[in-house]
Every structure is written in structure tokens, then in C-alpha cells.
Amino acid sequence: MKQVPLLTLFFMVVTNAIYGQHTVRYVGTYTTFTIPFESDSITFAVVAGKGELIRKKPIFLFRQGSLPIPLFELKPKSKRPLLTELPATCDDHQADQYSIIIAKPGVPLLVHGSYLDSLFNTRNNPIPSMYPPRYLQHNYLDYYVRQTNAVLAFVLKQPWADSRRVVIAGGSEGYHVAIKTAYTNSVVTHLIAFSGHLEGRMNGQIREARMRGFTREDSPAETQRNIEELQQTWSAICRDSLNTTIQGGDPYRTTYSFSHNNNLNYLLSLKIPILIIYGTADIGATSNDILPLEFARRGKTNLTVKPYIDHDHVYYKLTYGTDGKVVSKEYNGVAVERDYFEWIRTH
């Protein structure tokens, strides 16, 4: 089995204090809380160092995408822990809000950068040790929604949290978590969901497979075979939808939970401001194109949809050659983040 370097959180802890039933740790310039949850616990990080959780500020809670990515990465050059998936531009808004991100269950909290390299490079042939049993058992939509609601309940009891603005944001897998959290929790005042498939993960994969046939990346026969294989896979998942036993990657329960088709109804039920973001080169996410139609049909005006032309799932701007193939790409995610923080400011 391939080995990857790993650190435990212990070596980076400045202070470890226990207050009642929760634990506070200071990791570099961040404060982490561990709170009891169901028969387990939740750890989450706040972008605030020791002694900085004083002034009352609004809350920005971010739900990350898929994969068992640890909360912190130790950068080799700086030797400082950094949050792996929180939007980089959150640092620009520390005066305006407390930014929060929740750790994935059962995943190490702090790792060397080389650990993440191994995780991403082997995602198509996963290393089983990077997918611990606790993560596999809890890696499904409703668990993450309950987890998020528990964190919000805890945070909003703290004297430093201003409940007048509570933003829930999420991308890819987090798109689904953010939407259902907003649907189930009335404390949420703003919703930002991006890079997600409105009709669920499996529907998005089928759309992507069909598009490869339109663009002739795959032949018509290959395309049909691929779609039929996805349909057969879905049938197998439905027959065993609670199965969490797998050697690496997403078990059936994960795929089943993120392939529901309730997002449209969840969104239409909301009265709070909603921002939906996606790249037009992210074929599965273009299912969000229909949202303005459905909101207009019902006379609802609380939706903002912002597609980024020729951007992919993670907001690389793609440039195409005359043959229609991608010849270059440039990361534009920081500009996307700035756009949604501007949206928060004006809503």
C-alpha cells in the first residue's frame, strides 16, 4: 500500500482548552472547535486567531466539495498550516465576518502538502487508507446537513456571532449541502451554491456523457454504451443504496444521496436571497439554466444566476482552438469569489 506523509493536529496546537462539552484549539491563525454530535463529534475552523473572537460579526459558513480532504495543509516553505478549501478571498473579509469550514468525518485534520498530491493524483485509483471507514460511513448528504445545522446551532449561541446575517455557501458536493441546509434551517439568511448539478450527480454524469457524443470526443456508439453503463450502475446503487463498504472512492450511499432531484423544490421554497453560480463548460451544472424559468413562473424574484462563459467546474477559463478542443486554460476562481462576496454586500 502506498504510504503518504501525515501529521496529527497535536504538533501544531498552540493551546488546547476544554470548555464544558466542547474543545477549543488554536492552529496557527485559526481557532478550531470540537463539539459533540450524535454519537461522534464535529470539528470546525474559524478564521480567527487566539483572542480574536471578540467582536460580534456575521457568519459565512462554507461547505466544501467531495473527496476526503483534510482541514489543514502544512505548507513546506512557510511551515504554517493553511485551510485547504476555504475560499482564499475570505481573508479579505475578516473585518466583516467570521468564515467557518467544517472538517470531513474521520479524516486527518492536518497533513503535509504531499498528502494532498497523492490524494488528487490517485482519485481515479484511490488509496484505500485515504478513505477511512468513518468517512465512508458518514459521507452522505443528510449527515452533512445535520452536521452543518449542529455547527450553526452552536455558533449562533456564541457572543461573537451576529445572527442577523448567516451565509451558507457550498460548491460541487457542497452545492447540495448548502441548498438543503438553507431549506431545513431558518437561521440562514443568504444562500450561495455553485458548480452543482440541479438534478443530482448521476443526472449530471449522464449529461456529460451525452455531450461527449455531441462533440465527438466519443463516438455515438461509445456514448450510448457509456450512458447505458451509468444507467445500470444507478440500478445497482438503488438496489443497495445504504451500502458504505468500498475500498476507495464513493460508496453507493454517497452517490445515491447526492443524486436526488429535490433541489428545485428546495430552492423554490426559499424566501432568502439565492445566488447560483456555474461555468458554462461544466455541462452537468448547466442544468441550473432552467432556474430563472421556474422562479419566473412563480413570480419569485429572490434568485440571482451567474454563469461564467467557458469556465469549467473549478473556474478555469478555457480557450478553444478552431477544432473546438481546449488549447489553454487560466484559473479565474479568485474573481468568482470576489463576485459572490460583492453579491453578499449588495443583498
Per-residue pLDDT of the chain (347 residues; tens, 9 = 90+): 455 555 544 444 444 555 557 899 988 889 999 999 998 999 999 999 999 999 999 999 999 999 999 999 987 776 788 899 999 888 889 899 999 999 999 999 999 888 888 998 888 888 888 999 999 999 999 999 999 999 999 999 999 999 999 999 999 999 999 999 999 999 999 999 999 999 999 999 999 999 988 888 889 999 999 999 999 999 999 999 999 987 678 999 999 999 999 999 999 999 999 999 999 999 999 999 999 999 999 999 999 999 999 999 999 999 999 888 899 999 999 999 999 999 999 99
Q: What are phi and psi of 141, to 5 degrees?
A: -55, -55
Which domains, from first to last, does the chain contain?
9-346 (3.40.50.1820)
pTM for the whole structure: 0.93
